[in-house]
Amino acid sequence: MCGIFCSVSFSVEHFSKDLKEDLLYNLKQRGPNSHKQLLKSDVNYRCLFSGHVLHLRGVLTTQPLEDERGNVFLWNGEVFSGIKVEAEENDTQIMFNYLSSCKSESDILSLFSKVRGPWSFIYYQASSHYLWFGRDFFGRRSLLWHFSNLGKSFFLSSVGAQTAGVANQWQEVPASGIFRIDLKSTTVSKCVILKLYPWIYISRENVTEECVNSLTQISADLPTFVSVVANEAKLYLKKPVVPLNMMLPQAPLETHCNDISSIPPTRETLQVLLNDGHMKEVIQQFIDILSVAVKRRVLCLHRDENLAPNEVLKTCARRANVAILFSGGIDSMVIATLADRHIPLDEPIDLLNVAFMTKEKTVSASFNKKMSKQKNHGEIPSEECSKNAAAAAPAAADAAANPDKQFSVPDRITGRAGLKELQAINPSRIWNFVEINVSLEELQKLRRTRICHLVQPMDTVLDDSIGCAVWFASRGLGWLVTQDEVKSYQSTAKVVLTGIGADEQLAGYSRHRVRFQTHGLEGLTKEIVMELGRISSRNLGRDDRVIGDHGKEARFPFLDENVVSFLNSLPIWEKANLTLPRGIGEKLILRLAAVELGLTASALLPKRAMQFGSRIAKMESNNEKASDKCRRLQIISLENFSTEKDIKS
């Protein structure tokens, strides 16, 4: 994880040798381990490069890098496969070595087509006066652009900075491919021409698919002096995943499930499905591929190997290197179970569970009412309702006496239940269940001083809710509650695993069920295509900026290229069966995998969005729509910026 930045000016009077203080601060938050700036001057233009590194693997490599020919490289990414990077090597240096040896445009595109893992980059090619930049296919790393002064300057940055009273001018660089600007010709033409090298899939029949993001769509929100054009040679990047399987069943889907349609939705229901030999084989393949994805993400990081042997045995001497955004739901439970397979046994795992203070004394009673209603509709098993009721009832009884019960939100209840499941699977592991409690006052203060700058340019009510929830969760500042004591805790893990991508691929959202009910499997399949196509602009840049603000790196196992390709290759009914009730039908393949992994109640929990499970959506306004512009994000105030630096992340 790094904070990367580049400014280009085509006139001396508009060139600044220094970053603005607020932007520099935001970049340093992302990369606390090293900082460096580099100036490059030409007769026609001036460039300022700034790199801020979070050291995670190999030798600490300060950015920007420059070679003997004057080429400059900024890299914010992880090479998990595709290009060989030894354990002791740094992928930034490896990538730059390859780039420096590239002889043509096609060589550069071939290099980035091979990389498996999240990335954004900026590369200045001195001899040709080209500036290359872009994001990976899914947009898992943030990169923003900002054009100003009628084409006299432009900026690229991992994160922006907002100015009071000024409409947001930063925009996310589309994850449509790699862009190239000819800096020398731009000086002459007085307009910025972005040449796009798009992601294209080539099938075995050598038939290319249409580029999803058209040039017109990309240009729509750009100033008039900026244009996006296709590269003349029609070169492209090879898409790292196969297209979605659009096949439909020959018979109606219901006929596949006649033998279990009358069985109540319990763990036994899933077990019946696993009795099918083909399905069991598919599930094992899925587990194996997802396990490798998790393994890469928990082992590709620097670990402290210098502890004395006697220190290793002490709980206090071992720090967690990996944390998981943890609700106790199916996504985070499967990730935690697989992470447990690969993380050294003497190393704790931090489970980050966030809750926002409720207006009422407790939400447990209302949560029980909802669970009871779902039970009556056959949506979750009765034994699961009983467990939730048992967990929630004591909370309702002593809420008035114990203010902490104001944080007994649904995700806290399921999180604690999930913790017990994990402890049963591996009692030898130290599972740090970190209870992160956020008051309305703290939410409003830190949204104003930190979070609004990170969520932008995203600006909806949903962006506000999820952005704030993820920021507080990934900060990892909370409490460890055990049978013996309650103590404050700050997670030091630099890697944060999240479950993003599971719902989008496996029909996890309620809108998927609506789509299936109105348009059948064909409509559902098209919805999944749309979900994957927009995930870069809808989720990932925002979450990367928010998590990166704590000097931590977000990693997304469900968006591993091999995982996505495997899931894309399956027909839709092997991944989800929405003729089955909630808690079973959505994300069916993941629930079956959970059963195979030994999980119990969590395998049957219905989908609950983070903004509702953490109760942030109930904090301030109950009559907003998720898609509304969020007025709270528009209140951009820098008057307290000098105090921001005192806020510990």
33, 396, 463, 615, 630 from 439: Cα distances, Å: 31, 19, 19, 11, 20
- One-character DSSP codes across 204-216: TT-PBPPPSS-HH
**HSE (CB half, 13 Å, CA atoms) of 478?**
28
Instruction: Kindly report the length of the chain.
Output: 649
Place of tokens 């000016």: 9
With CA atoms as reference, report the closest residue to 474 among 419, 409, 546: 546
User: HSE of 305 in the Cβ direction (CA atoms, 13 Å)?
Assistant: 3
Phi and psi at residue 167, in whole multiples of 5°? -60, 145
Helices and strands, counts by H and E, the chain: 23, 21
> In 3D, which of 238, 325, 297 has the Cα closest to residue 550?
325
Coil, helix or strand for 421? helix
Q: Which residue has the tokens 């396990």?
A: 291
Residue among 2, 257, 300, 630 flagged as catalytic: 2
Asked whether 494 and 54 are in contact (CB, 8 A), the reply is yes
Other C-beta atoms within 10 Å of 188: how many?
10
- The distance of Cα 434 from the centroid of its chain, to the nearest Å, equals 20
Give ∠ CA 354-338-119 in degrees, rounded to 5. 75
Q: Are strands 486-490 and 477-481 parallel, antiparallel or unpaired?
A: antiparallel
Element (H, E) at 351: strand 349-356
Is 2 catalytic? The answer is yes
Q: How many CB atoms lie within 10 A of CB 256?
A: 17
**DSSP assignments along 477-546, one per residue:** EEEEE-SS-EEEEE---SEEE--TTHHHHHT-SHHHHHHHHHHHHHHHHHHHHHHHHHHIIIIIHHHHHH
| Cα separation of the two ends of the chain | 16
Nearest CA to 453 among 22, 32, 154? 22
Contacts of 124 (CB under 8 A, 6+ apart): 6, 40, 47, 49, 71, 72, 73, 130, 131, 132
Query: Is the Cβ–Cβ distance between 579 and 273 less than 8 Å?
Result: no
Which residues are catalytic, by number?
A: 2
